């Protein structure tokens, strides 16, 4: 094998090995000592509340779940509009609420323990159930099933969150509003679309305002 | 302050501190020694090719860029169908090609050096340019702009990739096909939609088959 060819193979082997190792890599470890210092409490206090790091990470996800339940609360709105508003609330809260954001991230990369909730799974189930309810109310035109529609809605939310990791503007209202503006006539029929606001309604309270 | 109230505050402070630290965390470091061992080459050989780790990570992104260029190659298809097919190729390749996947991941979380390409940015520009071309050809109905449409298309791709981090089935064809089936009548007009295949055409060669 010629020297140059060997060099190219070596180079390619290194690039592939790096990619494979990075593909499996987890997040950098954050020590319990760093966490207790940041919270301004002793290590003893930390261990009083959480026997180990897994318990603390689970608590982040459980806190995030409580916030998600707030987002998916019953609303005094048409079922389809309630879904639209919840997607806007979720996307906004992913930008502003660090516990929710990290809870989804932990839950999304399969690091949570068996005990911790699966937030993306919860969200998907809620979207599916809400679309099924809208369908039961006769609000949906028939062609995509609630499950198929829900997967598309979940993918868009996850994509905005993922893109926002490098540019927070992806979580602003524009893209999601455009998505709903495109989708609505297809799911509720063009006659009904003017009943709905693709941008959602402004949140009534300041509760998802960040610090 | 009652003991119980203080305990709750401490607990909440710990949860918030953990979330804030995890929010900023980078990936776990992968050592150059681990990479050279995995590639089966000496540390000297690694350093011959790459003066430092940043250079090696940049090379992963540059390799991924070459693959992306292949995905965004000109195709002998209607512009809209070429876009649909490229989105299917990208999503499939993100599942099967570790260098492409890691290149997008590195590029997506702002760790790349200044020298490395921004793959999500490249993809977005290509989607925008392709939609603008389709618009120039009179293929699009007018209401959303190519930029607005492109953002929705990019978000869906990023979302499938993000969800696939915990469940690889998200990169299978179904969700993306459903997305295009929903979107197509809205972007090309309902009269024209039967000219297009939301599922894309099967790739002609085996080049994006994984190992």
Please tell me which residue, A205 or A73, carries the higher pLDDT value: A73
DSSP one-letter string for B132-166:
HHHHHTT-S-SSS-HHHHHHHHHHHHHHHHHHHTT
Contact B56 A20 (CB under 8 A): no
Are B60 and A170 an interchain contact pair (Cβ–Cβ within 8 Å)? no
**Rounded (10°) CA dihedral B100, A166, A58, A154:** -70
Please determine, for residue A7, whether its predicted confidence score (pLDDT) is greater than 70: yes
The verdict on a CB contact (< 8 Å) between B108 and A162 is: yes
The Cα B140–Cα B80 span in angstroms is 9
* B169 to chain A: closest CA residue: A151
| A204, pLDDT greater than 70 | no
Judge: B41–A14 Cβ closer than 8 Å, yes or no.
yes
Q: Are B100 and B72 in contact (CB under 8 A)?
A: no
d(CA A75, CA B153): 29
Domain ranges of chain B: 52-195
Among candidates B18, B56, B175 on the partner chain, residue whose Cβ is nearest the Cβ of A152: B175
Q: Which long-range contacts (CB under 8 A, 24 or more apart) does B110-119 make?
A: B110/A165, B110/A166, B111/B26, B111/B27, B111/B57, B112/B57, B112/B58, B112/B61, B113/B54, B113/B57, B113/B58, B115/B58, B116/B57, B116/B58, B116/B61, B116/B62, B117/B61, B117/B62, B117/B65, B119/B61, B119/B64, B119/B65, B119/B68
* Nearest Cβ partner for A20 among B98, B148, B182: B98
Q: Are B28 and A28 within 8 A, CB to CB?
A: yes
A·B CB contacts under 8 A: 249
Residue B114 pLDDT = 67
Closest in B35, B102, B162 to A162, CB measured: B162
CATH of domain B52-195: 1.10.357.10
**Residue among B90, B162, B188, B191 with most chain A CBs within 10 A, to mutate:** B162
pLDDT digits (tens, 9 = 90+) for B2-47: 788 888 888 888 988 988 988 887 777 889 999 999 999 899 989 9
Report percent pLDDT > 90 for chain A: 53
Of A38, A41, A149, nearest to B20 by CB-CB distance is: A38
What is the rounded average pLDDT for all residues in chain A?
A: 86
pLDDT in tens, chain B (211 residues): 678 888 888 888 898 898 898 888 777 788 999 999 999 989 998 999 999 988 998 899 999 999 999 999 999 999 999 999 999 999 999 999 999 999 998 886 655 566 778 999 999 999 999 999 999 998 898 778 899 999 999 999 999 998 998 888 898 879 999 999 999 988 887 666 557 888 887 654 444 443 3
Per-residue pLDDT tens over the stretch A152-165: 999 999 999 989 88
The chain A residue lying nearest B43, using CA atoms, is: A14
Query: What pLDDT is attached to residue A150?
Result: 96
Neighbours of A64 (CB within 10 A): 29
Secondary structure (3-state) at B93: helix
* Cβ separation B108–A15 shorter than 8 A: no
- Tell me, which fold does domain A53-195 have in CATH? Tetracycline Repressor; domain 2 (1.10.357)
Q: State how far residue A15 is from chain B, nearest Cα, in angstroms.
A: 6
Over range A84-95, report the average pLDDT: 95
Closest CA to A108 of A78, A68, A53: A68
Average pLDDT over residues A15-40: 87
Mutate to test the interface with A, among B116, B155, B173, B190 (most CBs of A within 10 A): B155
CB contact under 8 A, A181 and B23: no
pLDDT value for B189: 78
Residue A108 has pLDDT above 70, yes or no: no
């Amino acid at each position: 094998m010629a020297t140059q060819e060997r060099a190219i193979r070596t180079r390619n082997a290194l690039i592939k090995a790096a990619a494979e190792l990075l593909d499996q890599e987890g997040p950098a470890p954050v020590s319990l000592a760093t966490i207790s210092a940041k919270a301004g409490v002793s290590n003893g206090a930390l261990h009083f509340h959480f026997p180990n790091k897994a318990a603390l990470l689970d608590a982040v996800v459980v806190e995030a779940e409580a916030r998600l339940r707030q987002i998916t609360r019953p609303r005094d709105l048409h079922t389809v509009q309630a879904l639209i508003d919840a997607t806007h609330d979720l996307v906004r809260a992913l930008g502003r609420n660090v516990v929710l954001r990290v809870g989804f991230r932990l839950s999304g990369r399969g690091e949570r323990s068996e005990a911790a909730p699966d937030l993306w799974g919860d969200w998907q189930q809620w979207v599916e159930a809400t679309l099924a309810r809208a369908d039961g109310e006769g609000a949906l035109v028939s062609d995509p099933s609630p499950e198929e529609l829900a997967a598309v809605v979940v993918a868009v939310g996850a994509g905005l969150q993922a893109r926002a990791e490098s540019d927070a503007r992806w979580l602003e209202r524009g893209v999601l509003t455009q998505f709903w503006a495109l989708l609505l006539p297809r799911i509720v029929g063009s006659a009904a679309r003017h009943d709905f606001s693709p941008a959602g309604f402004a949140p009534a309270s300041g509760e998802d305002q960040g610090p």
